[in-house]
Amino acid sequence: MTGHGLEARYLAASAIAREAGDLMRQRFEEREAGTYKLKGHQDYLTEADGEVERLITRRIAEAFPGDTVFGEEGGGQFSAQVWVIDPIDGTANFARGIPHFCVSIAFVRDGATAIGVICNPMTGEHFAARRGGGATLNGRAMKVSATAEMRQSTIELGWSMRRPMEHYVAMLGRVVATGAGFRRSGSGALGLAYVADGRIDGYAELHINSWDTLAGLLLVEEAGGWGNDFLANDGLARGNPVLACTPALREALVQATGIGR
């Protein structure tokens, strides 16, 4: 197969993300308010998460039976060719009726992310990248912002209970002290996709899992941005801090967040 099957996997990732997005949108529109559960403190779970993940896993197994899958809900196995998937990133938004969530699919070959696709079914936005092949949004090329001053920047700071709140508050304090504006949208994958498309200038989080991150990080890098070495120290299995941004802000953000030193 072309590029050792990369082209086939890229096309499959896009098709699977669209199908998963359609299912997710249907489940969102028919959901009854208040039907979510918490799997931990501030950690949401909906029935749709499992259903969408099973669909994605089935499609990958049908098309590429030799590959493995590692997903947020079902776990999985690692191999030289592993798909890393988040069926619904932004589960808290989904659960509470906020239409800001997505499916995130990455393909990792020999320890490097080769393909990343993120689909927001509520806006019809399909973000896609192949390593060395650029990043696109609905087929048009994406580029990170040209913002060169922290005072003009908007940075998303992701948050979860996996790290102490005081560490988040301290990072937030250091970032706003640079003059940056900040936001938190509840979807790390979409936050990274927004950096790739120049809508915001950076995304940082003190711990995030690989299924939320790898597709978005590739989007940023392929759109001309910079990202930290997320896969170092077993980031694939255990997660890591993430920082991704437009290149001119790298030094200031590394300093303010402490990520990527």
76 binds ligand IPD (CB under 6 A): no
Q: Which is nearer to ligand IPD, 90 or 225 (CB)?
A: 90
Nearest CA to 89 out of 74, 72, 76 is that of 72
67 binds ligand IPD (CB under 6 A): no
156 binds ligand IPD (CB under 6 A): no
Cross-sheet strand order for the sheet of 68-71:
75-76, 68-71, 81-89, 102-109, 112-120, 125-130, 135-137, 140-141
82 binds ligand IPD (CB under 6 A): no
CB of 29 to ligand IPD, least distance (A): 19
Q: List Cβ neighbours of 9 (8 Å cut-off, separation of 6 or more).
A: 64, 107, 114, 115
116 binds ligand IPD (CB under 6 A): no
Q: Is the dihedral of CA 16, 18, 23, 28 positive or negative?
A: positive
Phi and psi at 75, nearest 5°, equal: 65, -135
Q: Which is nearer to ligand IPD, 6 or 218 (CB)?
A: 218
* Residue 173 burial by Cβ neighbours in a 10 Å radius (0-12, 13-18, 19+): exposed
* Range in contact with ligand IPD (rule: CB under 6 A) among 115-123, 154-162, 223-231, 251-259: 154-162
208 binds ligand IPD (CB under 6 A): yes
Binding marks (x or -) toward ligand IPD, 157..176, rule CB under 6 A?
A: -xxx----------------
CB of 144 to ligand IPD, least distance (A): 20
90 binds ligand IPD (CB under 6 A): yes
188 binds ligand IPD (CB under 6 A): yes
Q: Which is nearer to ligand IPD, 143 or 199 (CB)?
A: 199
Question: Three-state SS for 156?
Answer: strand
Q: Provide the binding-site residues for ligand IPD, judged by CB under 6 A.
A: 72, 86, 89-92, 158-160, 186-188, 205, 208, 212
